[in-house]
Amino acid sequence: MPSEVASFFGGPLAVNVFLLGTAGNLYVFQRMGFPLERVMGAKDGDLPTACGLGSFAALLFAILGLLYIAFRRSLVLVMAKFHEVALVFYCLVVLLLLFAPFDVLHRRARMFLGKKLYKCVFPLSWKGTATLRLPMTETPFVEVFLADGLTSMSKVFYDVAVGVLMLMESLDGRHSDWYDAKMKPHPLPYLCAAWPYLIRATQCLISYRRAPLANDKFLHLLNTFKYGTGLGVIVVGALPAIFGTAPASTSFLVLDGQTMFLLCACCNSLYSFFWDVVMDWGLCQPAPAPSRDLESHVVTPVQHYPYLRQELHYKSPFVYYVAMGVDGGLRILWATSNWEWVDLVGAEFKVVMQVAEVLRRCMWNCFRVEWQCLKHGFELRPADTQKAPSLLRSLKPKNSNDKLNVLEETMTTLDADSDADDDVDDTRPLLHHQPLSPRKHATKPSDDRQLVA
């Protein structure tokens, strides 16, 4: 029974933890003042709130708890006989809640998520009636962000495919050897696990095709190779289960399956860890050169922490070092989740790795959005100033006399500000494309003769 619980409840538990962690990400972004709408290319109201997403995760936890009680106590006859029904039923409930057309549970946010997921799955667009074409621009950040999150859910897609295949055999009234082995010889679960990596590799190739600079094209190719190593881990782990173990007589000709898997897993783990830290988080940058004052010839060293970057939005540098260590360790565990030794340890360890991976992804989100804001120069908006009320609303006048007084004070303040602006020397333009103000540079007549002339 513990094995059955881990197999059919590990994926739903990882989904719930991921949603709860995403709610925590939204709270951190709000407190840090990250302009999430600009980063994601969304409009006001398209993104859910931290409280709303946390409530949705709590609802899914309640549904999963009821399913677990019914599963353990055999309260539902169908679920007691066919254990995979619990997983399939949970997936149907989640899909219904996410894509329900009713104006509940942040409908605008759900529709925004559905559109972006569709663009991730099918990035091509129709030209005319029967011609498909690639997008005209590089893959937007929001689609890359969502697809990266899907790669952390690849084990969930594997479990869902296994549950659906087992349920199909149960409905047909037959239980084959594949059913008892939880569909390990079937290729469909491995294809579902590889599906998120195929999406990201496709996005990288599209960005490579549309990138204007040669350096960007090269980086997109390197990123494609990273997801190719992830696909290699899945393929090498699936081959022994699908085709069986190679005979011992041929082991001297090629590398055996375990050695090949270890090579692919090490390559993927190290490559992904390097890309997370350097490219996605912008860390491990070289120390900037000290600044020198030309007049006083004083050299001022620039503050820089080892293996980090010059500008840090989070207060403690220790957070970045801990994040790098946790990311590296969990990357290694996640890459080895397809190895045969995991079956010897037990299915419960797979659940632990699924939950650990989604928690690592939530941690990754915090630093990825921070680096995106720094890279594009987005101005932060602290949480205490994001919703500053206007003067008229903050005073809340009680009667008409109070309203008149408020209006008079407001007009007086505006007049004083305009007079102060006139007195300030505006020889320096506000923006690089604005001309200098002609007020201070107009030639004033010195006497009446010049005025008459």
For the stretch 80-119, pLDDT in tens is 677 788 899 999 999 999 888 888 888 999 999 999 999 9
Cα–Cα dist 264/235, whole Å: 10
pLDDT of 365 higher than 70: yes
**Most confident option among 68-82, 287-301, 345-359, 418-432:** 345-359
- H or E element at residue 5: helix 2-32
Q: Is the pLDDT of residue 31 over 80?
A: yes
DSSP annotation string for 152-201: TTHHHHHHHHHHHHHHHHHHHT---HHHHTTTTT-SHHHHHHHHHHHHHH
340 falls in which pLDDT band (50, 70, 90)?
Answer: low
pLDDT higher for 280 or 174? 280
Q: If we measure between CA atoms, which residue out of 267, 252, 389, 276 comes closest to residue 324?
A: 276
Out of 153-162, 213-222, 358-367, 395-404, least confident range: 395-404
Q: The pTM is what?
A: 0.79
For 409-427, what is each residue's pLDDT tens digit? Answer: 555 555 555 554 444 444 4
The tens digit of pLDDT for each residue in 106-163 reads 899 999 999 999 999 999 888 777 788 889 899 999 999 999 999 999 999 999 999 9
- Rounded to an integer, the average pLDDT of 18-39 is 95
Using CA atoms, how far apart are residues 322 and 401, in angstroms rounded to an integer?
Answer: 60
The model's confidence at residue 373, banded by pLDDT at 50, 70 and 90, is very high
Please, are residues 29 and 51 in contact by the beta-carbon 8 Å criterion?
no
- Between these two residues, 310 and 431, which has the higher pLDDT value? 310
Contact between 302 and 291 (Cβ < 8 Å):
yes
- 188-210 helix and 154-172 helix, angle to the nearest 10 degrees: 140
Q: Cα–Cα distance between 301 and 85 in angstroms, integer?
A: 64
Angle at which helices 188-210 and 141-151 cross, to 10°:
160
DSSP state of 280: I
- CB of 6 closer than 8 Å to CB of 347: yes
Half-sphere exposure in the Cβ direction for 411 (13 Å, CA): 6
pLDDT over threshold 80, residue 407: no
- Cα atoms found within 13 Å of the Cα of residue 301, Cβ hemisphere only: 4
What is the model's pLDDT at position 128?
72
φ and ψ of 100, to 5 deg:
-70, 135
pLDDT at 288 (0 to 100): 64
What pLDDT is recorded for position 41? Answer: 92
Q: Which residues of 211-230 are buried (b: 16+ CB within 10 A; e: fewer)?
A: beeeeeeebbeebbebbebb
Share of the chain above pLDDT 90, in %: 47
Q: Mean pLDDT over residues 156-175, rounded? A: 89
Instruction: Return the pLDDT at 425.
Output: 47
**Exposed/middle/buried for 25, CB within 10 Å: 0-12, 13-18, 19+?**
buried
- For the ranges 97-111, 226-240, 428-442, the lowest mean pLDDT is seen at 428-442
Q: What is the pLDDT of residues 237-267, one digit of tens each?
A: 888 888 876 554 444 445 566 788 888 888 9
Report CA torsion sign: 206, 219, 289, 306.
Answer: positive
pLDDT higher at 273 or 6: 273
Residue in this structure with the two tokens 């538990």, named with its chain if needed: 13
* 8 or 91, higher pLDDT: 91
For residue 411, what pLDDT is reported?
55
3-state SS class at 327: helix
For the chain, give every domain's residue range: 2-376
134 or 434: whose pLDDT is higher? 134
Q: Residue 151's closest CA among 194, 96, 205?
A: 194
Mean pLDDT, rounded, of the chain: 80
CA distance 88 to 62: 17
CA 198 to chain centre: 17
